[in-house]
Chain A
Amino acid sequence: MRKIIDILPLLVFAALVLVLLSFLSDRDDQLETVLIDSTFPEFSLTNLSDESSILGKKDISQLPALINVWATWCIACRVEHPFLMKLKEEEALAIYGLNYKDNREKALDLLKRDGNPYVFSIYDYEGRLAIDLGVYGAPETFFIDKEGIIQERHVGVIDEKVWADKFQKYLDE
């Protein structure tokens, strides 16, 4: 009898660890799957370069496409920038920007200075579209296929390796 009481704390704690572990793996799956295989969400936001022009889902017309979440305050985005420029030159796909919680002038300055890989950038100051997409932070990139279905998502910088591992296969199909 006494022994059971002595083992009890261990059992309770081990159970707690298992529960927590299951939350953690749940989270991972959700991150990957929540939007994969669904169509791109509807939105209505202004164009970064033109405050008066309203963009919607229909404006993402060149497919397949990448949607790249970026901002001037995001350091990693600058690391990613040259690679996006290279993609624009070399691959038959359109890149759309989602300018996230940023300052419009600064964002335009950066594109002017470093080059603009995007067909256009959606200006999402409040993060509305970002919430619908479940954006974790910048940079983050989504791949949309010819039918407008989200096929892949990558959180973090895209470089040669990430491109080859995660994205290249969709263009080869």
Chain B
Amino acid sequence: MIPELGHISLITHLILSLFAGTVPLAGLFLGRQSFLLHIERFSLILFSLITVSFLCLVYSFLMDDFSVAYVAQNSNINLPYYFKFAATWGAHEGSLVFWILAMNAWLIGFTFLTKSKDKKFSQLVFSISCQVMFAFTLFTLFTSNPFERILPVPPLNGSDLNPSLQDIAFTVHPPLLYLGYSGLLIPFAIAVAAMLFQTETRVWASYARPWALLSCGFLTLGIALGSWWAYYELGWGGWWFWDPVENAAFVPWLLSVALFHSLITSQNRGLFGKWSVLLSIFAFATSLLGTFLVRSGILTSVHAFALDPERGVFILAILAFFIIGSLTIYSVKDFAKTSSNTTYTLTSKEFGFLLNNLLLVILAISILFGTIFPLIYESITAGKKISVGAPYFEAVLFPFALALGALQGLALFLGWGKTTSFTFLKRLILESASIFILVLLILFILFDNLYLNSFVIIFLATWIAAGTLQFGKIGSKDYFKIIQRRSAVIFAHVGMAILTLGIAVVTNYSLEKEILLAKGDSYQIEELDVSFDSIEDSVGPNYLSKLAKVSFTEGSSTKQVIAEKRTYFPSGQPTTEAGIETEVFKDLYVSMGDNLEADIWSFKVQVKPFIRWIWLGALLIAIGTIISGVRLTRRL
């Protein structure tokens, strides 16, 4: 009964979202006041319906109801309860329900917090959002229904959740990512409404900004957690693989960053109105496009979703309807007229934001192109395969990322209209150069080595940090005030500096070695002594595992870690769990390879200095954007 309740609730959500997506719209354009809805109340009703649906699915998982096909495919009696819970969004069908839930949550945020004097504007945003939610619900019910039953003979046990997804980071990574994706719906709907009503740029930008920031914050958290998960779960020791799914999340992230920066200018100066609208549309479009690429099966990656061409067509249809629709409005409506004669010069903050946007968009397009190119190549050459990997992305992105970082260091000093004084430059160069030398000194003490390759990026990191924190003003009495007023921006930009430093060090100072070890033997890698102490069998709730105890000895200190190789018995699929010893400045990392003879195993040993700083940086960026987003919602 419970799954049917969830099913009915989802169908009701479908009908009501269609109603809310069409009736107020008709009311607005026919001028019928009576067609308008009480949107606060209506968004609560929609939210409750989808919540019921979601909870019914959770319940089916927790109760091991294997007559529900989705549960049978993604759970198992032996699965621990917290993974049963997380399995709800672990595969395609359930993740869609979560996605709709998240869109509803954002819409509630919008309807309750935006105290627009213009009631019609809110009605329109609400109605457009409901159209998108209707399309998603329709997609879910028709191609990916999570409540479908296997009757009359339900299986006795399920086939288990994909083992590599049975992990703590995984339980939170997808929801955060989906929250980020779905949040981009609100700026999109606001932008479309702004075009239709020819709303003044400053006004609509102030509505859209908090939601763009919050989505970006959640996207950052989601992507960072995904990267961390891949690091210890896939056993490769990397933090970014240019995998199509990673790219599919990275592109909307870049565009959301471009968007909220552009919106600052739109809100404060009434400029970039059209550009902000385009970014809102494309940020939303790329979040859908990513979903399309991953779930239609036209790109393959480590993220295995059930493949189904029919789903691909459906998502493409949703994408085409909303994006072609909004771009058509864009091409015919005469909006964002620059009535004010605001001018700006090449040294202005406006121009800084323009450059920032240009660079971010170039990065996004390059990544998108690199992701889709293998498909284009395959169809031109009639089936020849090509893979575009790290070398392409690194070579193409590096110069633009460099320029972006250089700009970021200067950004906070620029003034609206034009920058009057450039005295800050001398101080900035001096400060960043001194921190740079300090960082090099620390690296030399830590690793006895300096790599020229890393200098440019390390300098960039110190440049951004110095430009953000403005150490020169320490001591002056308003320094604390500046820091406090700008805390959001400082968190985000310092986060960027820390992330950049992490990337510079980890790419240049990492050690990596594949070794064979017999039990009791040890191996020397530079000053690190790696010894294979013991191996034992162990049994988990739904897997068997081999546990290898490996010790790292450096000078007089010895640390033991446990690397693990699991075989999940419902599916027979193996996974590796790396053994990682985390120190402030480096990670010692070992993952198990194959069992060659009796007690001889292959291991992959890695030393990863500063790798944690990458995720720390991302965390700070997320904190910064979320603080800023939350502050702005209070001013709505």
CA distance A81 to B73 in the complex (A): 17
Residues 126-149 of A at the B interface (beta carbon under 8 Å): 136-137
User: Within the complex, what minimum Cβ distance (angstroms) separates B119 from chain A?
Assistant: 29
The answer to whether B73 and A9 touch across the interface, beta carbons within 8 angstroms, is no
Q: How many residues from B make CB contacts under 8 Å with A?
A: 42
The answer to whether A78 and B327 touch across the interface, beta carbons within 8 angstroms, is no
Contact partner, B313, options A7, A24, A31, Cβ 8 Å: A24
The answer to whether B570 and A73 touch across the interface, beta carbons within 8 angstroms, is yes
Chain B positions within 8 Å of A75 at CB level: 66, 69, 72-73, 150, 155, 158-159
A19 in the interface, Cβ–Cβ < 8 Å? yes
B187 in the interface, Cβ–Cβ < 8 Å? no
CA distance A125 to B572 in the complex (A): 9
Contact partner, B309, options A14, A24, A78, A102, Cβ 8 Å: A24
Q: A24-B296, A73-B572 are in contact. Are A6 and B331 (CB under 8 A)?
A: yes
User: Within the complex, what minimum Cβ distance (angstroms) separates B489 from chain A?
Assistant: 30
Contact partner, A10, options B297, B306, B328, Cβ 8 Å: B328
CA distance A7 to B324 in the complex (A): 11
The answer to whether A17 and B313 touch across the interface, beta carbons within 8 angstroms, is no
**Most A CB within 10 A of own CB, among B298, B313, B316, B327:** B327
Chain B positions within 8 Å of A17 at CB level: 316, 319-320, 324
The answer to whether B324 and A13 touch across the interface, beta carbons within 8 angstroms, is yes
CA distance A13 to B66 in the complex (A): 43
The answer to whether A26 and B379 touch across the interface, beta carbons within 8 angstroms, is yes
**Most B CB within 10 A of own CB, among A3, A21, A27:** A27
Q: A75-B73, A75-B155, A75-B159 are in contact. Are A24 and B298 (CB under 8 A)?
A: yes
B312 in the interface, Cβ–Cβ < 8 Å? yes
A89 in the interface, Cβ–Cβ < 8 Å? no
The answer to whether B297 and A9 touch across the interface, beta carbons within 8 angstroms, is no
The answer to whether A9 and B379 touch across the interface, beta carbons within 8 angstroms, is no
The answer to whether B296 and A22 touch across the interface, beta carbons within 8 angstroms, is no
A18: nearest residue on chain B (CB-CB)?
B320
A74 in the interface, Cβ–Cβ < 8 Å? yes
Chain B positions within 8 Å of A78 at CB level: 153, 155
A73: nearest residue on chain B (CB-CB)?
B159
Residues 574-625 of B at the A interface (beta carbon under 8 Å): none
The answer to whether B572 and A23 touch across the interface, beta carbons within 8 angstroms, is no
CA distance A78 to B152 in the complex (A): 12
Q: A20-B292, A23-B298, A75-B69 are in contact. Are A6 and B330 (CB under 8 A)?
A: yes
The answer to whether A22 and B379 touch across the interface, beta carbons within 8 angstroms, is yes
A103 in the interface, Cβ–Cβ < 8 Å? yes
B515 in the interface, Cβ–Cβ < 8 Å? no
Residues 365-381 of B, flagged 1 when their CB comes within 8 A of A and 0 if not, give 00000001001100100
The answer to whether B309 and A74 touch across the interface, beta carbons within 8 angstroms, is no
Residues 23-41 of A at the B interface (beta carbon under 8 Å): 23-24, 26-28, 31
Q: Which 5 A-B pairs have CB atoms at the shortest separation, nearest pair first?
A: A10-B327, A73-B159, A7-B331, A6-B331, A75-B155
* A-B pairs with beta carbons under 8 Å apart, 27 shown: A6-B332, A7-B331, A9-B281, A10-B327, A13-B323, A17-B319, A19-B376, A20-B292, A23-B375, A24-B298, A24-B312, A24-B313, A24-B316, A27-B298, A27-B309, A27-B312, A31-B309, A73-B570, A73-B571, A73-B572, A75-B66, A75-B72, A75-B150, A75-B155, A75-B158, A75-B159, A136-B307
Q: A7-B331, A24-B316, A73-B159 are in contact. List 12 more A-B contacts (CB 8 A).
A: A6-B332, A9-B331, A10-B328, A17-B320, A19-B376, A23-B298, A23-B379, A26-B379, A73-B570, A73-B572, A75-B66, A75-B73
Chain B positions within 8 Å of A, measured between CB atoms, are: 66, 69, 72-73, 150, 153, 155, 158-160, 278, 281-282, 285, 292, 296-298, 306-307, 309, 312-313, 316, 319-320, 323-324, 327-328, 330-332, 372, 375-376, 379, 569-573
